[in-house]
Chain A
Amino acid sequence: MMLLSGYDPVMYSRMLTGLTLAFHIIFATIGVGVPLMIALAEWIGIKRGDEHYLLMARRWARGFVITVAVGVVTGTAIGLQLSLLWPSFMRVAGQSIALPLFLETFAFFFEAIFLGIYLYTWDRFKNRQTHLWLLIPVVLGSSASACFITIVNAFMNAPAGVTVKNGHIVDISPFGAMLSPAMPTKVSHVLVTAYLTCAFILAAISAWSLLKGRDHVYYKKALKLTMVSACVFLLASAAIGDLSGKYLAKYQPEKLAAMEWHFETTKQAPLVLGGVLTEDNRIKYGLKIPFALSFLAHGLPNAEVTGLNDIPEDEHPPLFIHYLFDTKMAFVSIMVAIGAAFLVLLWRKRDAVYRNKWMLRGIIAAAPLAMLTIEHGWIFSEVGRQPWLLRGIMRTTEGATASDHVDTMLIVFALLYLVLAVSAVTVLIRMFRSNPAEEEIAAKGIQGGGEL
């Protein structure tokens, strides 16, 4: 409650930035992942000459436009808010990481141009392949813009390519700053989890229709395509997640230590699952897995892991990130279970996957869980770098605006996002409810369209 008594521009700036990002990330994730799924569907449709997949691509694209609109406007918001709320930070960022910011806009520009063309040329070219080609720049552009903006964030977590003298950046290598040690793991993690989340979201939509008893083969094809993709992306993100842990141990040990409540620097460090932290930093009810943290951090059970006590107290991240991380991992394990169950069921008795109510319910649950995992992952990553805005260079308090009225703006934007969220969801639901796939298939006179 202390935080809310009295006007503190730093606190309000953090809250407003957090709110905008949390909202934008939902649409940004969809913006990165869905084009890939649309491309997959259209490609399969052309390859097999199956009209169902082509319709799938078209229907996904139709809904995608709505989410893109919200993604574009909230992206513009966060772009401007960076300068409005963090003017001192942007002064430094402008010197050091203007390049990836600039490149991000280029990628986005490229994507926007081709998305406009793609959406309005479904029946324009004689050769269907031509239309599919238009989607390649959209997929490349959306993934590239995610990549570049993550590079900016990677720099904030582990600045590279700069020389710091007395807390000021003096020497900059623009391309060097892009190759921060955090970059490879962060970029790949962001991309793969975005693909994963979108595969689950689209799977949940098909599962919903199947659960309602609409058993058109269209939904089965959609479910199979999206779930198999989701399983592939799950495997990839697990591998990258492991690398992220090793990155943390090497470059941001304080984040790893805070997230695992690891106080004493030791060898054969145990991993703590769950638990509660008491006032005097003792762990209660936690489940300790011996050697696991050493293994997670360095791949060897005997490796030494830095503890929080070896890090200056005013550089400790908040310890509650442990809860964030554990919740995130719980979500991940549920998703893995659902993915595995789907594969097993598909392999053992093919058709049950599309009829088993619990399977379908599980898939529907996986979509919001995947999105929550993205949110938790981001909050964990961002809060875990506190008190730094630029790790080792600039503290968060030094970067924020001193301007009045940030509190008013927080309310204004909270209302804006609420209105946008409600409208977008209403429009999307209405769009698909009033025009179900089987009706569109009948109206277009699509015949057969190949077997599952």
Chain B
Amino acid sequence: MSYEVLGITVLWIFLFGYLIVASIDFGAGFFSYYSTITGKRHLINNIIERYLSPVWEVTNVFLVFFFVGFVGFFPDTAYYYGTALLIPGSIAIVLLALRGSYYAFNTYGTNKNNRFYMLLYGASGLLIPASLSTVMTISEGGYIQVSDSGKVTFLFSKLIASTYSWTVVLLALVSVLYISAMFLSYYADRANDRGAFEVVRKYALAWSGPTILCSLLVFFAIRGHNAEHFERMTQHAWMFVLSFACFLIAVYHVWTRKRLGLSFIFVMLQFGFAFFGYGAGHLPYILYPYLTIHDNFTSRPMALALISVFILGLLLLVPSLYLLMRLFLFDTKYVQGKRGK
């Protein structure tokens, strides 16, 4: 495997990690607010808070990790994406900032369950995936113009008017809700909280249909927008078939209310296969058609240094993450709220 492919694979794994943990977080924020308006807050709030409190910071780091690594391995991306993304990127930053800080203000401050804070928290949870997903859309090409002198112009109105970009936004939204509800079903089940479980189970089932529909929609939209990419994706068709099979298994378990841990593993596999199938089809382009992973890849010593540090870092991170999960995810007493803080 060449350094370029190794680099992009590592980064893609991190982005996938972010996709899963952030979806749980974003969706939970939305459900938390939604349950307040529908009067079901007392049922599900405990499990949401018990899960989110110790992990909310870690979620953010996945994202930072991804883009720092990206600029490190592929310095030219900073130039193209940096210039193009000033507005969508800044919007995402503002939303992330409001969301992160108001979560803390609401959870640790004295003025708990402030409606306004909750609204900020819930609404941003849906807007952030929408604004971040524009990066995916832009990477397909067609929304950036590069002049002969190298000046990058972002065609904002074209992005707004494009059907493809809206299908991606839609997919991002429903996936967030689906992944989150599937996870919360598992967590509520572990907590032995039947009331909460029944509520989030309904959310999970309700969002499963739209998720699969939107995935199909994006599939067709790519064909219209970037036929070359679609062509390469069909070469990895088996991954998408497997993804769909995993979806069926996951939903089946939630439907029968049995083995929810396994069900969530299949949710991750479902998105894993689709995400890596999409990514593999995207290669070698990082920004179609201007930038491939081979253009201006970082120098050999830097790539080596980054990869070595990355492996050393994993040796530190994996046990720590395991400890975090042991203490807050797989500790039955904590999950059931029987441990003091």
Q: Which residues of A contact B (CB under 8 A)?
A: 62, 65-66, 68-70, 72-77, 79-81, 83-88, 90-96, 98-99, 101-106, 108-110, 112-117, 119-124, 137, 172-175, 401-403, 405-406, 409, 412-413, 416, 419-420, 423-424, 427, 430-431, 434-435
Contacts and interface: CB of A to CB of B under 8 A. Distances in A.
A427 B109 contact: yes
A173 B324 contact: no
B54 interface: yes
Contacts of A431: 108-110
B60 A72 contact: yes
B89 A80 contact: yes
Among the interface residues B72, B80, B110, B340, which one has the most CB atoms of the partner chain A within 10 A? B72
Contacts of A121: 327, 341
B242 interface: no
Given A109-B61, A121-B327, A94 B71 contact: yes
Nearest to B151: A402
B249 interface: no
B317 interface: yes
B265 interface: no
Given A91-B78, A420-B101, 11 more contacts: A69-B103, A81-B90, A84-B89, A93-B71, A98-B75, A99-B306, A105-B65, A122-B340, A172-B299, A409-B87, A424-B105
B185 to A, nearest CB: 23
A70 B54 CA distance: 16
A416 B60 contact: no
A116 B68 contact: no
B93 interface: yes
A91 B105 contact: no
Contacts of A116: 53-58, 324, 328
B292 to A, nearest CB: 16
B62 to A, nearest CB: 8
Interface string B92-132: 11101110111111001111000000000000000000000
A255 to B, nearest CB: 27
12 contacts: A80-B89, A94-B74, A95-B298, A102-B69, A105-B64, A105-B65, A108-B61, A109-B58, A113-B58, A401-B82, A403-B86, A405-B86
Q: Which 10 interchain pairs have the tightest Cβ spacing?
A: A94-B75, A98-B72, A69-B104, A87-B82, A90-B78, A174-B305, A73-B97, A116-B54, A83-B82, A112-B57
Nearest to B300: A172
Contacts of A173: 301
Contacts of B321: 113
> Dominant SS at the A interface?
helix
A124 B328 CA distance: 12
Given A69-B104, A110-B317, A172-B301, A122 B93 contact: no
B313 interface: yes
B61 A105 contact: yes
Nearest to A74: B97
Among the interface residues A98, A173, A419, which one has the most CB atoms of the partner chain B within 10 A? A98
A110 B320 contact: yes
B81 interface: yes
A133 B58 CA distance: 20
Contact of B82 (A84, A92, A119): A84
A102 B101 contact: no
Contacts of A174: 301-302, 304-306
Contacts of A124: 327, 339-340
Given A110-B320, A113-B321, A117-B323, A98 B57 contact: no
